[in-house]
């Protein structure tokens, strides 16, 4: 699925709560920036996660993630977190994510994330409904 449209971008500001005593983003804080971007990417496709749980009985969860830290983000930085679909399967999908600082193309952090679809009642993997597969892939190829 590489080579598709431009990635989805979600802006975020670094706040005091995101940093350590030196004003540098704490390593786990980057995961929150990525999570918010993935949530907004789905929302932009018309996929609300609360509705999926309540109406369809499914949730999306992070199955695995590989994170590469390149440079530090700092207090008050305006960041851009991108999301780009890299693969789509019947019960999971993967995205590549990159975090940059506004006005700078240097990569701060990058991640490859696999998201699994789970049945809320059994808490077991299940197929992503066809209508969601279509929405997830829309504008991606």
Residues 50, 53: Cα–Cα separation, whole Å: 5
Q: What is the DSSP code (8-state) at residue 16?
A: G
Query: CB of 98 within 8 A of CB of 56?
Result: no
Whole-angstrom distance, CA of residue 84 vs CA of residue 96 = 5
- Of the residues 20, 64, 76, 104, only one is catalytic, namely 20
CA atoms of 94 and 64, how far apart (whole Å): 9
Confirm whether 64 is a catalytic residue: no
Which residues are known catalytic residues? 20
């Amino acid at each position: 699925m590489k080579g598709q449209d431009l990635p989805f971008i979600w802006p975020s500001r670094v706040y005091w709560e995101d940093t350590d005593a030196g004003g540098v983003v704490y390593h786990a804080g980057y995961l929150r920036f990525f999570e918010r971007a993935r949530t907004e990417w789905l929302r932009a496709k018309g996929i609300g996660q609360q509705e999926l749980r309540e109406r369809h009985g499914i949730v999306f969860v992070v199955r695995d993630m590989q994170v590469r830290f390149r440079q530090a983000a700092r207090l008050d930085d305006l960041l851009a977190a991108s999301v780009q679909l890299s693969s789509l399967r019947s019960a999971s999908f993967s995205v590549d994510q990159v975090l940059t600082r506004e006005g700078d193309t240097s990569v701060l952090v990058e991640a490859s994330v696999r998201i699994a679809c789970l049945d809320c009642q059994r808490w077991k993997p299940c197929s992503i409904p066809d209508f969601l597969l279509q929405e997830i892939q829309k504008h991606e190829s």
